C-alpha cells in the first residue's frame, strides 16, 4: 500500500488563488495594494534564486514587489538604514531580509530592526513571543505552511503524537509550538537525542528538519505515520532530496511530502499570506 502524497505545489496554488482574489478585493475596496520588499545582500546564488521566485510569486498575486540588491561589502549600518527606510514606507507591508547575510552583519540586529508589524517572516522576538502564547501574529512561514498542508489534507492533529526532529528558530521550535496549539502531544528531538529511532517510531506525525540527506529510513517510521520532510539536500548524484529516504519510507507511511514539491512551495505561499494580512491590518 502506497502513502498518500501531500502535494505542496497543488495546495500552494489553491492558496495563492485565494490570496490573489483577496488582494484584488482589498485594492478595489480600500485602494491599498499589499507591498513586499526583499533585501538581498551579496551574490549568493541560492539566495538570488529564492528572491527572484518570491518577486515573481508576489507579482502573480497582484502585490507590489520591490527587490533591493546591495553589494556584499554593504556595512551593517547601511543595511539597518535601508530597513528603517522601509519601516517608514507606507506602501510596504512586508519586509524580508534574505538570509544568510555576510559574516560582518549581525542577523539578530537586522531582525530586531524590522518592525514587528512588517515582519512577514515571523522571526521578530515580539512575533515569536505572541506565537508562543497563542496570540494572533505572523507565523514563521515554513511551519505555517506545514500546518496548512495538514489542514487541507484533512489530517487530524488533535490527540496525535507529533515528533519534530530539529530545533532551529525558523522551523523546529515554532513547528512544535503550532502542533501543540492544535492539541498534539509534541516531542522535540535533535542532534544530541540518544536513540532517535525509539522516538521517531512512536510518531503519528513525524516532521524531519535536520538537513541530513535521507537520514530517516523505513525502519525509523511507524506504520501509517504522516511524514513531513522539510529537508533540502543533494544526494550522492547531486539530485535534490530531503531528510527522509522517500523510496523506502513511502510504502510504510500513511501520507508523505515529496522533495521537491512538498513543503518548499508552501513557504513562499505563506509569506504572501502574511503580507496580505499585514496590508489588511494597515488598511483598517
Active site residues: 54, 98, 121
Q: Which long-range contacts link 277-280 to residues 24+ away (Cβ below 8 Å)? A: 277/138, 278/34, 278/93, 278/94, 278/117, 278/118, 278/120, 278/138, 279/23, 279/26, 279/32, 279/33, 279/34, 279/35, 279/93, 280/22, 280/26
CA distances from 202 to 84, 163, 185, 196, 206 (A): 47, 8, 11, 11, 9
CA dihedral 174, 175, 179, 181 (to 10 degrees): 10
DSSP per-residue string spanning 34-95: -EEEEEEES--HHHHHHHHHHHHHHHHTT-EEEEEEE-TT--HHHHHHHHHHHHH-TT--EE
Amino acid at each position: 500500500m502506497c502513502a498518500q502524497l501531500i502535494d505542496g505545489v497543488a495546495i500552494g496554488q489553491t492558496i495563492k488563488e485565494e490570496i490573489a482574489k483577496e488582494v484584488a478585493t482589498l485594492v478595489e475596496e480600500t485602494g491599498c495594494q499589499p507591498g513586499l520588499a526583499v533585501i538581498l545582500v551579496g551574490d549568493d546564488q541560492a539566495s538570488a534564486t529564492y528572491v527572484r521566485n518570491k518577486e515573481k510569486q508576489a507579482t502573480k498575486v497582484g502585490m507590489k514587489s520591490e527587490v533591493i540588491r546591495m553589494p556584499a561589502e554593504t556595512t551593517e549600518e547601511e543595511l539597518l538604514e535601508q530597513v528603517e527606510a522601509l519601516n517608514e514606507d507606507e506602501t510596504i507591508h512586508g519586509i524580508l531580509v534574505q538570509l544568510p547575510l555576510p559574516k560582518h552583519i549581525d542577523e539578530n540586529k537586522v531582525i530586531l530592526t524590522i518592525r514587528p508589524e512588517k515582519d512577514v517572516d515571523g522571526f521578530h522576538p515580539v512575533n515569536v513571543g505572541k506565537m508562543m502564547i497563542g496570540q494572533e501574529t505572523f507565523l514563521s512561514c515554513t511551519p505555517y505552511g506545514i500546518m496548512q498542508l495538514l489542514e487541507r489534507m484533512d489530517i487530524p492533529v488533535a490527540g496525535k503524537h507529533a515528533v519534530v526532529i530539529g530545533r532551529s528558530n525558523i522551523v523546529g521550535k515554532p513547528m512544535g509550538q503550532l502542533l501543540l496549539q492544535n492539541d498534539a502531544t509534541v516531542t522535540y528531538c535533535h542532534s544530541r537525542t540518544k536513540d532517535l529511532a525509539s522516538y521517531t517510531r512512536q510518531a503519528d506525525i513525524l516532521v524531519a528538519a535536520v538537513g541530513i540527506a535521507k537520514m530517516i529510513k523505513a525502519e525509523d517510521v511507524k506504520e501509517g505515520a504522516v511524514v513531513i520532510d522539510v529537508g533540502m539536500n543533494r544526494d550522492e548524484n547531486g539530485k535534490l532530496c530531503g531528510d527522509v529516504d522517500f523510496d523506502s519510507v513511502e510504502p510504510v507511511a500513511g501520507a508523505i511530502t515529496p522533495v521537491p514539491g512538498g513543503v518548499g512551495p508552501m513557504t513562499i505561499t505563506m509569506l504572501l499570506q502574511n503580507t496580505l494580512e499585514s496590508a489588511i491590518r494597515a488598511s483598517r
